[in-house]
Amino acid sequence: MSPLALIAVILIVAIVLFVWNKVPAVVVAILVCLSLWASGLLSLNQALEGFGDPVVIFLVTLFVVTSALEVTGVIAWAGQCLINGAGQTSRFRLLFLTMSLVALLSALIGTSGAVAALLPVMVVTAVRLKRKSSQLLQPLAFAAHAGSMLALTGAPVNILVSDAAMDAGAAGFGLFEFALVGLPLLAGSMAIILLFGERLLPQKNGATIPADFSQHARTLVEHYGVADNLHRLRVRATSPFVSRDSSLIDLKGYEGIHVLAVHEGDNAQPIRRNIAENDHIIMRGHLDVVAKFATDWDLSFRAYKERSDDFLFNHQSGLAEVVIPPRSDLIGQSAFPGMVTESGDLVVLAIQRGSMTVGAGFAQEREGSLQLQAGDTMLLQGTWKALDVRLNDPDVLVVSSPELVRRQAVTMSADAKKAILVLILMIMLLATGIVPPAVAGMLAAGTIVLSGILTAEQAYRAIAWTTVILVAAMKPLATAMLGTGAAQVMSEQLLAIAGERSPTMLLACLFLVTAALGQFISSTAAALVVIPIGIAGAAGMGISPQPVLMCIGAASEAAFLTPVAAPANAMIMGPGGYTFRDYWPLGLPLLAWFFVVSVFYVPLIWSFS
């Protein structure tokens, strides 16, 4: 069988399996990669080169940067701003603002970077507004494709077509000259999505869609009965508690109040030493009794107007609910509310067994202790780092991941400024082109880990490996299509239809060839195949290469029909719950609009003569 026939069979089988959707997309991609090697079309190094491709490496780093923005609360803040701007019920305003924002960002840092930055915002927004994520994520990715045509920096293909125009003896395209075609593409795409998107998109969520944790702290403290009358008292230098063991706090004579925790300074760390000035005592009880206790022991106290659970749940401190599983080593051990765990950095706030909640106070072991049993639940409090590290323990089952809760429910932390600064610096590197995108991404991801925003383990967990493997495994297909001449044959056959009939027919054929190739190989590879053919066609007809090249540039961004057409399409596949065939219903009308603009509008801006 000839190489052209082999590549045709592999491509057709891959498309059938993708559409069939019975085999996971990532498995299909790996089978494509292995088939290219087994058939002899590519060497082993060529078949695996996608896993070291700069585009794939850049994609990996984007997940780390995005995770840093989530962990520091920037994403939750941005999502809340988006919700406030769009309102709770207006689908039109929500999508309009989202698509406008992603298009602008895409023009500066490219489609993948823009979608990676806003994808978690949209997932959180979908959860909080109780909307299906599938209704929001395709508009996000597809508007990013259109937005990449707003500036020279929006896509690598833009630079290619501008350089090709100058090489052909015509003027290149300026930084924002692309907006002459990009704005109509974006406006039409937004109109189609706003008018018809709700009917053309599926109504479902991805398997990885998180729960809404925006009110998680309030839910936990109410469920365990510690929601009311929480107070924080600061130890003054003159207090008798200074230099005293925290377990010796005497509550006799103060009926109805309990100590929940004692924190070292402002860092939400359970105290591991004697009490010192500026430590904080977290108490629960009647305001009048707490005020008297504070006066008697020279503690700084005031009634706070904000939510009382803010003392326990903020950018430093978090709450977690755990269950004692069968065969846990904790079964039979004594526990009581107010005790510090063996690790020394978590506090037990409450214990629940069935409908009974034990919420006795600090250092009241005899009254409130329980012999732990399988099925008991405990409410724990500590720093986010302690919760993340200590709850990775087989002796407890975590009900809701502290990391997921923190990403949604916590306001911006002290590290938020560092994360935003890293993002800005990465955008500047991408916009100026001082270093390649992969290098900019690696510098950003490395800075995030070195600055302590994420640990190395957290950075590793942040990467969506399914998406990375899907993109990496499909990359060699472009190499095979170029190496075997399959892409060239496809281009020449379709362009033969145009002949010397008319420049408009030439643009139509160039668009169809580029768009068809771009559904399965990268837009850059598709453009590299078609650009020389387009220039030759323009020279043969004696027309300017500018409209021809701009048509090719626009067609390369019309990657709407498959999840493997672009990294951004693959990134939304899991969170949106999309299958291969879910991209066609909305993708086809958008592809038709790109065709109209590229073939009939472009010559009005850049004439054939």
Per-residue pLDDT reduced to its tens digit, 86-142? 766 678 888 998 999 889 888 876 787 778 777 877 887 887 788 888 999 999 999
Examine the pLDDT at 179 and tell me if it is beyond 90.
yes
Q: What is the mean pLDDT of residues 462-480?
A: 78
Examine the pLDDT at 596 and tell me if it is beyond 80.
yes
Higher-confidence residue: 593 or 440? Answer: 593
> Cα separations (Å) of 531 from 330, 507, 601?
68, 12, 19
Helix (H) or strand (E) holding 377: strand 377-383
Tell me if 337 sits within 8 A of 358, measured CB to CB.
yes
Q: What is the mean pLDDT of residues 433-451?
A: 90
Q: What is the pLDDT of residue 446?
A: 96
Helix (H, G, I), strand (E, B) or coil at 381: strand
Per-residue pLDDT reduced to its tens digit, 36-91: 999 998 999 998 988 888 878 887 887 888 788 877 877 667 766 776 777 666 78
Q: How confident is the model at residue 306 (pLDDT cuts 50, 70, 90)?
A: very low
In sequence order, what are the beta bridge partners of 377?
323, 352
- Residue 337: CB partners within 8 Å, gap ≥ 6? 258, 260, 348, 349, 350, 351, 358, 359, 360, 361, 362, 364, 368
Per-residue pLDDT reduced to its tens digit, 3-30: 888 888 887 887 777 767 678 778 888 9
At 212, which amino acid appears? D
Tell me if 470 sits within 8 A of 564, measured CB to CB.
yes
Q: How confident is the model at residue 364 (pLDDT cuts 50, 70, 90)?
A: very low
Share of the chain above pLDDT 90, in %: 24
Q: How confident is the model at residue 360 (pLDDT cuts 50, 70, 90)?
A: very low
- Strands 370-371 and 280-284, bridge-based pairing: unpaired
Please tell me the distance from the alpha carbon of residue 110 to that of residue 148, in angstroms, as a whole number. Answer: 6
Tell me if 299 sits within 8 A of 281, measured CB to CB.
yes
In sequence order, what are the beta bridge partners of 75?
none
Q: What is the mean pLDDT of residues 535-558?
A: 87
Per-residue pLDDT reduced to its tens digit, 389-427: 888 888 999 988 787 777 666 666 778 889 989 988 987
Mean model confidence pLDDT for the chain: 82
Q: What is the pLDDT of residue 365?
A: 41
Find the distance separating the first CA and the last CA of the chain, reported in whole Å.
46
Please tell me the distance from the alpha carbon of residue 25 to that of residue 350, in angstroms, as a whole number. Answer: 45
Q: What is the pLDDT of residue 527?
A: 79
Strands (E) located in 178-307: 230-235, 258-264, 269-270, 280-284, 299-300
Query: Across the chain, which distance is largest between two alpha carbons, in Å?
Result: 101
Examine the pLDDT at 206 and tell me if it is beyond 80.
no
Q: What is the pLDDT of residue 487?
A: 62
